[in-house]
Amino acid sequence: MNPSTIMEKPFSQACENNKAPILGILQQVLPEPKWRGTRVLEIGSGTGQHAAFFAPRLPWLHWQPTDQAQYLPGCRLWVEDARAAGADNLLEPLVLDVLTPEWPLSQADAAFSANTAHIMHWPAVEALFHGLGQRLPTGGLFCLYGPFRYQGRHTSDSNARFDRHLQQQDPGMGIRDLTAVEPLAANAGFRLLADHAMPANNRTLIWQRSP
């Protein structure tokens, strides 16, 4: 094989920076033994760095990475290296576009997604909650990480600048307001269980599937 054709592992500095703080939250909300043997669906796995980091440190969970097809080759490189190092609870990445009616799995026990809601267009955010509402059981948790606005206000000047940058790239992107997300989540059967402050003006929102 020509060395120039060998794909390098993609790398996200944001993932590198936030993986440890997010892990701390996941260890709190998905503890052993309560969640032993359950499947966590990761939506928008991106580079695969989160999956490769979380799975070996949460060995009681079955971690299922997913993303759109174009991102899976790079994600697989991280997953393969983690599995080779012993993370046998890390599953093969699956293709998932939340806008498609058929998802690659019909159920999961919990879900996780990082830095996706502000990249997705609003119909995709709606589809994200709707799809999870159909697949998570009563009591199932959805952990959503990223920046959010509150009652129309940004939590920092840097988030306001980031929001403007996103909308300059694509008017359909932008930091979501929790006051808009909450009724959307409620319609899909979720209630906000916790809102954790995170480094770099981000949040981790914990949603629970209601009866």
Provide the number of structural domains found in the chain.
1
Residue 80 domain flag:
yes
75: domain CATH number?
A: 3.40.50.150
- As a whole number, mean pLDDT of residues 185-208 equals 98
Residue 178 domain flag:
yes
- As a whole number, mean pLDDT of residues 190-211 equals 97
Residue 63 domain flag:
yes
What domain range includes position 165? Answer: 38-209
Residue 12 domain flag:
no
Whether residue 3 has pLDDT greater than 60? no
60-103 pLDDT, tens digit per residue, is 999 999 999 999 999 999 999 999 999 999 999 999 999 999 99
Residue 46 domain flag:
yes
Query: Do residues 82 and 51 make contact, with C-beta atoms less than 8 angstroms apart?
Result: yes
Q: Give the pLDDT of residue 7.
A: 84
126-159 pLDDT, tens digit per residue, is 999 999 999 999 999 999 999 999 999 999 999 9
Query: Do residues 10 and 124 make contact, with C-beta atoms less than 8 angstroms apart?
Result: no
175 versus 211: which is more confidently predicted? 175
Q: How far apart are CA 192 and CA 207, in angstroms?
A: 5
Whether residue 4 has pLDDT greater than 50? no
Task: Report yes or no on whether pTM surpasses 0.85.
Answer: yes
Residue 94: C-alpha distances to residues 8, 33, 58, 198 (Å):
20, 27, 20, 28
Residue 177 domain flag:
yes
- As a whole number, mean pLDDT of residues 182-205 equals 98
CA angle in degrees (0–180, nearest 5) for 45-190-75: 5
Supply the Cα-derived Rg of the chain in whole angstroms: 17
